[in-house]
Structure 1
Amino acid sequence: MPVKDLVSWNSLISGFSKLGDVGKSLNAFCRMRSDLDLEPNEVTFISIISACTDMGAIDEGNCTHGFALRVGFLLETKVVNALINMYGKFGHLNLACRLFEAMPTPNLVSWNSVVSVHVQNGFSDEAMDLFKSMRRAGVKPDQATMVTLLQGCADLGVGKLADAVHGLIVSCGLISDITIATVLLSVYAKSGRLHASYEVFGEMKNPDRIAWTAMLAGYAVHGYGRDAIEFFDLMVKKGVEPDHVTFTHLLSACSHSGLIKEAKIYFKIMFSVYGVEPRMDHYSCMVDLLGRAGHLKAARVLIESMPMEPNSGIWGALLNACRIYGNIELGKEVAERLFALDPSDSRNYIMLSNIYSSAGQWRDASKVRALMKERSLMRNPGCSFIEHGNKIYRFVVGDQSHPNSEKIFMKLEELIEKIQKAGYVPETEFVLHNVDEEVKQDMISKHSEKLAIAFGLLVIGADRPLIITKNLRICGDCHSTAKFVSLVEKRTIIIRDMKRFHHFTDGLCSCGDYWSVPTLHPRSCLMTRT
């Protein structure tokens, strides 16, 4: 080009930015200023900041911020919005907040940006407070605001808050927005209210593939494999073409329900019929399904047949199967692979230690724990959460921090006594410590799920289910306890662990004990006692 004006240079800088090439964006910027002495405008800065954000180039982002400050562009709202987003993505929430607070008149994008970066960084409660301030400032929310708020609701797990946001969406006339409705149904599914998810889906006029897949994911995480298959068939009949994400959730639903035959069929036809190449997630679902069903050899053969190198998720699924079925030899081999792939993931060390402990190989278990200590790896402590009165209560094992802990423990003792009369026997094999049986029973009786159940029975009305969230997998004894409590107390208990939901009603769990060590179902125990 014989003549290159500012628009020409901005187009070049923007092109490099969209490719994620920070170096070429900055190089073009420097040439623009040195060769032709052209001064940048807000478009120039936004392009460079976007490139820095996408590529995680914090030093270059700081330099761009400094230059924008020097030439007076921090008075441009769009530039500041881009910087807020950049610092939020980098985890520098304090810098993002300082930029926002210094703005004389933040616009809708400014508010959306600062609310979003709080949610992204795990401060969803502060994000909700900021949204209230935004409303008080007279700024009307849009689609982006609502999507961010719903993501915050999912993180907080507060059911009443999700209902409130749902009401706001309706009052703002945004419920017909397909993106908002899809996120809303996902939030309801993640909070244990699958019926509410289906109601939202049913109100959609023309749900797209993402909406269908989100609903399918809800069925999967709740363990309703048969329903997921029926829903998938309906989706195909409606002319909606499934993609790789759809098949990931479909196979996951089969895995959560132990539907081996069905999963094998869908894994085969996903490419032959629908043209979807199997990806890592699909193989992970199949390995998990085969492993949990006890087909460890078949799972290993499938891994060896993969066209790509298996990742830690694949090997982790097989290691967990080795833990369930006590396969020490294969477990040790798989654990060594995981230690090489991801030496900082404490879960793999814990699983191998548990395999050894379950087999009574205390010395080997101790060696694994010593290796964890040597590598400064910490075990993530188990905790359970339950909502009451617009507040989330957190419990850990043996927790006595609650003001009413004395009443909670009394209720728990009363529950254990009642369920023991119904046939419950503490499953102390889940206490993987070399201690006396009496000590094991005491340790297992104070797990966080049990404390949350006792608290819920004390404060939540009999007409409402107890909805509990666990940050780790629910142990077999807590699973058995929840079944018995649902029977003797005539209450529905819903526990979401890190993998799926368990719906306990009348002594039964929706997972059919597929995700725990099989035990006698409470009603069969009652019949035996009778």
Structure 2
Amino acid sequence: MITGASSFPSFCFGSRILKQKHVDLKFLLPNFIITRRSLWSSSPPATSSPRFSAELIPTSVAPRSLLPSVSPSSISHCQIIHSWIIKSGKYGGFGFVGDRLVATYAKFGRLDYALNLFEEIPHKDLVSWNSMISVFSQRGSLRDNLNILRRMRSEVGLGFNEVTLVSILPACAAAQALDAGECIHGYAVKTGFCIETKVVNSLINMYGKCGSVDAACRLFQAMPLKTLVSWNTMVMIHAQSGFVEGAIDLFNSMRRASIKPDRVTIMTLLQSCADLAAERTAKAIHGCIMNSGFNSDVAIATALIIAYAKSGGLDAFHDVFHELKNPDMIAWTAMLAGYATHGHGKETITIFNLMVKEGLEPDHVTFTHVLSACSHSGLVVEGKKYFEVMSNVYGVEPRVDHYSCMVDLLGRSGLLEEALELIQSMPIKPNAAVWGALLGACRIHNNIELGKEVAERLFESDPLDPRNYIILSNMYSAAGLWADASRIRALMKDRGLKKSPGCSFIEHGNKVHRFVVDDRSHPESEKIHARLEELIEKMRRIGFVPKTEFVLHNVDEEVKEGMINKHSEKLAIAFGLLVKGEGMPIMITKNLRICGDCHSAAKFMSLIENRIIVIRDSKRFHHFANGLCSCGDYW
């Protein structure tokens, strides 16, 4: 039997550990003595010294009992335990301890130590190999993981078990290595591990992260026993893959299956509700939060505030915030962001002042929301004030985002020259967002000359962003400069750039309905188009004139009217009028900025139908009521 470290001449890494100085063990011994008192063969050695070394650990203590009883908090602490294990002469008989040390070294970021120790473990069992696979997986090192798997098979002839598969699949997911993941899947099928729920959950996650959501769905549907982890994984991969409607559908299926959601489910779903402005689903999740006892969780409450704010529920997110006993900085910031997005500049400033009064120190994110609120509300004087006090009073130096907000504020107010001067005086290099804010202002105020100059800068600094080309092309089209507009669009085509298609979303009947321009795919398509035509005819009778200048094609006026009347927002509003009860607000989300004609049409529709219509576009909220918009036509 091996009895000492001298029996391991190849343990050069262990030798280096032994040569290191003794480190104070005062942090280790109290917990060790309390939890393992029965393991001492005799009373602890008496000492008057306040310092302890590895020799003070009794040699009769089994190494496998030492590591669970102490939690090393640094590399040096880990090395103390390591050196004692070697000196105890019990290193070779307890592979478990070596595995724990490998994991601990890796935890503290010393992969070199972990690798050296792993290579010097004399009798590596499957647990040892799995420990190293787990280490590489946590670091996202797929190549090293695959090498370990190869060595397992070729050097020692070990097969994989459930832990091996669950450990390596996250590395495939992180690297988006679908081919490697499919090979692991094939092995799992061949060896019968696909009956293990944990393995299937890991496979679902891998396929989802690799973009193969259909494969993940097939695995999920075939599971005989779907755990909460299975449901959470499916919800998460749908949300992260952009299939937000699917995530919400899964949540509804969970409820029908009597699966109680946990914190992970709720946080993921609230983000999905925020993305699609699904207020009804947010309210259902709010009910789950109350029933599950998560109402005191500040992080969940903050996510709920954001979901309500992005779903148009101003009163709801205000109530959630005021139910918090001790809102933190993130919760206050969520409130600021909510009011800013809705264009409530004065309310945003009020919240800011309350936050400061509560003793919280505003940071750069806080001021970004305050300046954004001023921009959306046309509060030029207030915006300038807070831009100055952020550095003079609170010591927050302006960043690019703050300059972008100020350029947007000045530009929207028609102060284009002042906005340009601000850019030119910036102590930091302006980025595409800053120049893009000025280009947007040039579009609003039809300043083609300055717009052309700014666009050229953007084409050089950010040549792959199609939005800049579209804005300049739209400016040319609105001015009747069709040749210039065609030239810009041809440039887009040459560079392989495409405009994102506009689409609008509306929630109804536990489902999110999606519309694109002239959409005929909806089951109620005929009724929707008929309702829209009826609505447009009523609007014309009271003076509505389509703004055909927003049709960016050189075609006849009649054709322009036909094109603009079938925009996705209008179809979504018509659908909302068909399915929503009398007097119920209509909430719509648009992935792009609302066009001027749809903005004008929504005001008329709100007047004719005596209905509140809320549209959240890519920049802000528009609340239409009685023929007016909350933005004051300032967007």
Structure 1 residue 487 corresponds to structure 2 residue 575 = no
1:230 corresponds in structure 2 to: 350
The structural deviation recorded for 1:188 is 0.8
Larger CA deviation: 425-434 vs 401-410: 401-410
Write the deviation string for residues 180-201 of structure 1: whole angstroms up to 9, x where unpaired. Answer: 1110111011111111111111
Structure 2 counterpart of 1:14, from 97, 107, 119: 107
1:398 corresponds in structure 2 to: 518
Aligned letter for 2:578?
L
Structure 1 residue 349 corresponds to structure 2 residue 442 = no
The structural deviation recorded for 1:397 is 1.8
The structural deviation recorded for 1:320 is 1.2
Structure 1 residue 179 corresponds to structure 2 residue 299 = yes
The structural deviation recorded for 1:436 is 2.2
Write the deviation string for residues 431-465 of structure 1: whole angstroms up to 9, x where unpaired. Answer: 22222222222222222111211221122112210
The structural deviation recorded for 1:409 is 2.5
1:48 corresponds in structure 2 to: 136
Q: Is contact 2:336–2:369 with CA below 8 Å preserved after alignment?
A: yes
Structure 2 counterpart of 1:244, from 345, 360, 364: 364
1:467 corresponds in structure 2 to: 587
Larger CA deviation: 482-491 vs 91-100: 91-100
Write the deviation string for residues 470-524 of structure 1: whole angstroms up to 9, x where unpaired. Answer: 1111111111111111112111000111111100011111001101xxxxxxxxx
How has the CA–CA distance of structure 1 residues 267 and 118 changed in structure 2, closer, same or farther, with 3 Å as cutoff?
Answer: same
The structural deviation recorded for 1:179 is 0.6
Q: Is contact 2:504–2:516 with CA below 8 Å preserved after alignment?
A: yes
Mapped partners of 1:140, 1:401: distance in 2: 35
The structural deviation recorded for 1:413 is 2.3
Larger CA deviation: 242-251 vs 82-91: 82-91
Aligned letter for 1:232?
F
1:306 corresponds in structure 2 to: 426
Unmatched segments (≥5 aa) in structure 1: 17-23, 516-530
Write the deviation string for residues 276-307 of structure 1: whole angstroms up to 9, x where unpaired. Answer: 22222111111111111111222222222223
Structure 2 counterpart of 1:165, from 271, 277, 285: 285
- Tell me the SS of whatever aligns to 1:384: strand
How has the CA–CA distance of structure 1 residues 378 and 42 changed in structure 2, closer, same or farther, with 3 Å as cutoff?
Answer: same
Mapped partners of 1:96, 1:403: distance in 2: 28
Structure 1 residue 192 corresponds to structure 2 residue 277 = no
Mapped partners of 1:185, 1:62: distance in 2: 44
1:31 corresponds in structure 2 to: 116
Structure 2 counterpart of 1:279, from 384, 387, 399: 399
Matches within 5 A, 1:382-461: 382-461=502-581
Matches within 5 A, 1:253-332: 253-332=373-452
- Tell me the SS of whatever aligns to 1:513: coil
Report the number of matched residues.
503
Aligned letter for 2:352?
F
How has the CA–CA distance of structure 1 residues 135 and 45 changed in structure 2, closer, same or farther, with 3 Å as cutoff?
Answer: farther
Q: Between the two proteins, what is the percent identity of the paired residues?
A: 58
- Tell me the SS of whatever aligns to 1:72: coil
Larger RCO, structures 1/2 (Cα 8 Å, 6+ apart): 1
The structural deviation recorded for 1:337 is 2.2
Mapped partners of 1:151, 1:171: distance in 2: 20
Mapped partners of 2:604, 2:313: distance in 1: 22
Mapped partners of 2:565, 2:336: distance in 1: 36
Structure 1 residue 143 corresponds to structure 2 residue 263 = yes
1:118 corresponds in structure 2 to: 238
2:7 corresponds in structure 1 to: none
Aligned letter for 1:415?
L
Structure 1 residue 367 corresponds to structure 2 residue 487 = yes
Mapped partners of 2:562, 2:230: distance in 1: 53
Q: Is contact 1:182–1:214 with CA below 8 Å preserved after alignment?
A: yes
How has the CA–CA distance of structure 1 residues 422 and 349 changed in structure 2, closer, same or farther, with 3 Å as cutoff?
Answer: same
Mapped partners of 1:211, 1:307: distance in 2: 32
Aligned letter for 1:280?
V
Unmatched segments (≥5 aa) in structure 2: 1-16, 19-81, 84-97, 175-205
Matches within 5 A, 1:67-146: 72=160, 74-75=162-163, 79=167, 82-83=170-171, 86=174, 87=206, 91=211, 112-113=232-233, 115-128=235-248, 141-146=261-266
Mapped partners of 2:152, 2:261: distance in 1: 29
1:217 corresponds in structure 2 to: 337
Q: Is contact 2:336–2:351 with CA below 8 Å preserved after alignment?
A: yes
Q: Is contact 1:84–1:114 with CA below 8 Å preserved after alignment?
A: no
Aligned letter for 1:363?
A
Mapped partners of 1:192, 1:354: distance in 2: 29
Q: Is contact 2:345–2:373 with CA below 8 Å preserved after alignment?
A: yes
How has the CA–CA distance of structure 1 residues 9 and 98 changed in structure 2, closer, same or farther, with 3 Å as cutoff?
Answer: farther
The structural deviation recorded for 1:45 is 3.8
Taking only aligned residues, the RMSD between alpha carbons, in angstroms, comes to: 3.2
- Tell me the SS of whatever aligns to 1:503: strand
Q: Is contact 1:65–1:83 with CA below 8 Å preserved after alignment?
A: no
Q: Is contact 1:42–1:78 with CA below 8 Å preserved after alignment?
A: no
How has the CA–CA distance of structure 1 residues 65 and 83 changed in structure 2, closer, same or farther, with 3 Å as cutoff?
Answer: farther
Aligned letter for 2:116?
R
Mapped partners of 1:32, 1:102: distance in 2: 42
- Tell me the SS of whatever aligns to 1:385: strand
Q: Is contact 2:130–2:163 with CA below 8 Å preserved after alignment?
A: no
Mapped partners of 1:399, 1:433: distance in 2: 20
Q: Is contact 1:119–1:152 with CA below 8 Å preserved after alignment?
A: yes
Mapped partners of 1:149, 1:33: distance in 2: 41
The structural deviation recorded for 1:266 is 0.7
- Tell me the SS of whatever aligns to 2:401: helix
Structure 1 residue 477 corresponds to structure 2 residue 570 = no
2:202 corresponds in structure 1 to: none
Structure 1 residue 154 corresponds to structure 2 residue 274 = yes
The structural deviation recorded for 1:71 is 6.0
Write the deviation string for residues 113-146 of structure 1: whole angstroms up to 9, x where unpaired. Answer: 5543332222344445666787799875432332
The structural deviation recorded for 1:314 is 1.5
Mapped partners of 1:67, 1:134: distance in 2: 42
Q: Is contact 2:273–2:311 with CA below 8 Å preserved after alignment?
A: no
Mapped partners of 2:118, 2:479: distance in 1: 70
Larger CA deviation: 104-113 vs 281-290: 104-113
Mapped partners of 1:154, 1:64: distance in 2: 43
Aligned letter for 2:137?
I
Write the deviation string for residues 77-98 of structure 1: whole angstroms up to 9, x where unpaired. Answer: 9736855873455656578789
